[in-house]
Amino acid sequence: MESEKNVAAAATAIIGQKVLPGMDGPFRSWQEDLNAAAAYYPGFLGAEISAPTQLQPDWVVVYRFDSVAHLQAWINSGTRQTYLDAGAKYFDGPATQQVVSSGSQSLDPLVTVVVTHRVPPNQIDSFLDWQRRMVEEESRFDGFRGTELFRPIEGLQEEWTTLYRYDNAEHLDAWLTSPQRQRILAEGEKFSDYKLHTIDNSFGSWFAFEGNGKEAPPPPSETKTSLAVWVGLYPTVVLLSLALSPAHLPLWINLLIGNLLSSFIMSFLTMPHYVNPLLGRWLRPPPGEPRRRTNVRGLCTVAVVMAVWALVFYLITVRWWTLP
């Protein structure tokens, strides 16, 4: 359901940046340093980096602060400007920026599309009617999770910003390429000057917990994310296989039940209570901590933990017990 919000508790900035060919690695390193600098500013809640995908051609950086004022202080700070001057050699054109303000501290952990429009004051009513028709149409598509509409924020952003969410990239693409959307866009041709960004966090809620139970953004590195999932998935799958083996189920039923159970166990037990506490410092290093030392320590932890699990399961399944 669409909602309109003025300035409220939390504020999020979504910044898109095209990067010159061959500069992705240096850009990510530079951006991670910039995010670490942002963490020292009042009201900082988190930052994340999303690399280009088929859905989003730009690098997307998301900053979250506890208020518009604190976000504005960071966006306009001399520290950030100094970093931007130093990182200009990586940029392929100017960045885009959207700001939303709401009580929520995080975007949807699956696929979120951010669209901004410049609307003349005398066309606001017409724009809102057009947006309602857009929401009515997109809500009929599979995977639709909801829409939020945010008014311009004085002194920070002149555009209207719409967030709409789908449960996966396939359902989103079905809507983006649909004849229904093209028809609605044609009806609102005078609002066709818009910008669109897609934020796709593949593992989403598996990394949505800090030690105190509060939500946190996913790790910025896809490699770290994949290794962390591996650390949780291996013992989960093996233990489930051992638990189900006495039932002598056909393979297709065994996998059907096992995959369902492992999804729930990973989401509610393995990731929040085992992997995130174990690898939390590696997944989200504290500001100022040397990156090389953090990565070496994290990779060593992964290697040791997986070696221990492999040894335990070898002893259980080969030395102590042979699977029926």
**pLDDT tens, 205-225?**
555 444 343 444 455 566 788
Q: Which of 200, 206, 214 is CA-nearest to residue 279? A: 206
Q: Determine the Cα–Cα distance for residues 282 and 295; give it in Å rounded to an integer.
A: 6
pLDDT at 62 over 80: yes
If one compares 216 and 15, the residue with the highest pLDDT of the two is 15
What are the E-state strand segments in the chain?
4-5, 10-17, 44-50, 59-65, 96-102, 111-117, 144-150, 160-166, 194-200
Please give the full DSSP string across 238-285, using - where no structure is assigned: HHHHHHHGGG---HHHHHHHHHHHHHHHIIIIIIIIIIHHHHHHHHSP
Integer Cα distance of 225 and 164 in angstroms: 25
Does the pLDDT at position 193 exceed 70?
Answer: no
Q: Say what the pLDDT of residue 54 is.
A: 67
Domains of the chain: 4-201 (3.30.70.100), 216-320 (no CATH)
pLDDT at 322 over 50: yes
* pLDDT band of 9, cuts 50, 70, 90: low
Query: Taking 80 as the threshold, does the pLDDT of residue 110 lie above it?
Result: no
Q: What is the pLDDT of residue 2?
A: 33
Share of the chain above pLDDT 90, in %: 14
Question: Which SS3 state, helix, strand or coil, does residue 161 take?
Answer: strand
Separation of CA 123 from chain center: 33
Per-residue pLDDT averaged across 170-191, rounded? 84
pLDDT band with cut points at 50, 70 and 90 for residue 323: low
pLDDT of 109 over the 70 cut: no
Q: Which of 140, 159, 142 is nearest to 197 (CA)?
A: 159
Question: What is the edge-to-edge ordering of all strands in the sheet holding 4-5?
Answer: 4-5, 144-150, 160-166, 111-117, 194-200
Asked which of 69-73, 122-126, 154-158 is least confident by mean pLDDT, the reply is: 154-158
Give the pLDDT mean for 65-76: 85
- Cβ density class 254-282: b for 16+ within 10 Å, e for less: beeebeeebeebbeeebbbebbbebbbeb
Whether the predicted pLDDT of 122 surpasses 50: yes
Q: How far apart are CA 204 and CA 165, in angstroms?
A: 13
Is residue 253 over pLDDT 80? yes
User: At a CB cut-off of 8 Å and minimum separation 6, what does 71 contact?
Assistant: 11, 12, 13, 43, 63, 65, 99, 156
Average pLDDT over residues 51-78: 82
Candidate ranges 16-25, 151-160, 290-299, 314-323; pick with highest mean pLDDT:
16-25
Query: For residue 220, which of 264, 273, 282 has the smallest C-alpha distance?
Result: 282
Cα gap 109→199, rounded to integer Å: 9
Q: Are 60 and 15 in contact (CB under 8 A)?
A: yes
Q: Are 83 and 33 contacting, i.e. CB atoms less than 8 angstroms apart?
A: yes
Sorted by sequence, the CB contacts under 8 Å of residue 257 that are 6+ apart come out as 244, 249
Task: Give the model's confidence band at 306: pLDDT under 50 very low, under 70 low, under 90 confident, else very high.
Answer: very high
Whether residue 272 has pLDDT greater than 70? yes
Mean pLDDT confidence for 294-311: 92
Instruction: Check residue 139 and give its pLDDT.
Output: 86
**One-letter amino acid of 22:** G
Q: Please check the confidence at residue 77 and state whether its pLDDT lies above 80.
A: yes
pLDDT value, residue 163: 78
Note whether 65 and 45 are within 8 A (CB): yes
